[in-house]
Structure 1
Amino acid sequence: MDSFTEEEIAEPVNPTGESFNTSLLCAYVLGFLESEVPLDDSQTVYLLKNVFLPINPRFSSITVRDENGKMIWKRVQMKLEDHIKVPVFPSSQSTNSELYDQYFDEYISKIMMERTPQNKPLWEIRVIKYPTTSAAGTVIFKLHHSLGDGYSLMGALLSCL
C-alpha cells in the first residue's frame, strides 16, 4: 500500500458510524456472492488491492480518537491476507452438498457473532470453497456498518464485479 499523509486521516466518523461500534452494539453488513462454478481465490489479493480498496478510503482505515476525543478515520498500512479467510470444513468421504450446508450454516452463525479486530480495517472476506445445495462456492463479505449503510456498501461491492 502507499504511504498516507496526515491530511488524509482527518475525516470524522459520523455519529451513526460511532453508534454502530460500541461495547453495546456492533453491527455488520454481510453480503453473499454464490458461484455456479468452484471458486479459485488466486486473484483475491490483486482484486482487493486494485478494485475494492480504491473505492473508499475507509476500507483501508481504522477509527481512532483525535486529540479532542472525537472519532476519526485513520488510513493505515494493511496486509490484505489478514482480511481473507478460507475456512476448512471437516473432511467427508463424499461431496454431499447437504452435509456442507450444515457446516456452512454453522460457520455463518459463528462469524456473525465475532467482532472484527479494531486495530485493522473493519471488513473481512470469507471464501467458501465447498459446494452447498445452492452454490458451488460462496464468497461472504463482512463489512462493519460504520463503513457505510447497506445500500452504499452493496453498491461498492457490486461495482467490483
Structure 2
Amino acid sequence: MSAAVQKRIPTVAVPAPATTTYFKPAPSEIAWGKMRFLITDRPTNSSIQTYIEELEKHGARAVVRVCEPTYDTKALKEAGIDVLDWQFNDGSPPPPEVIKSWFQLCLTSFKDYPDKSIAVHCVAGLGRAPVLVAIALIEAGMKYEDAVEMIRK
C-alpha cells in the first residue's frame, strides 16, 4: 500500500471489551408458575463480583454448580448466596442423587423464598445447567417439548 493511500485511511483505536463485565452466552431467566431459574455460564475469580451483581439482580439465593470447581465461592457465600456443588459429567444425564437433591432444593426454595430464584451453571450454560432446569419444569407438569422450547428462547 502506498504512503498516499495509508494517509487517507483513518485509524481508530477500539478498546478491548472488559472480560469481567459480560457473560457468554447471556444469562437466561426461566420463569414458570412459582419457579424462577437463572442459567449462566461459569464465572471466574476475576468476574465473580460481576456475577454476584447479576445474581442479585435476578434475586438468586443459591447457585448450583454442576461442573468442575474453578473459582473460589467465598465471595458468593459472603453475599448470602448458597453454593451447591453437584458436579456430573458433561453429556451425561444427572445421577439420581443429583436429581433428588435438585427436586428438594426446588421444593423448599420456591416454597420458603417465593420471590427468589435459583441459579445453575455449567461451563458455558448450554448443557448440564439447562438439563436440570428442564427436569424441574417437566416434573412440575410442563410438557417436555414446551420445556425445551422455553429454555432455548
**TM class by smaller structure:** 0.3 to 0.5
Larger radius of gyration: 2
Q: Please identify which structure carries the higher strand content.
A: 1
TM-score, reference length from structure 2: 0.33
- Higher RCO, 1 or 2 (CA under 8 Å, sep at least 6)? 1
TM-score, reference length from structure 1: 0.31
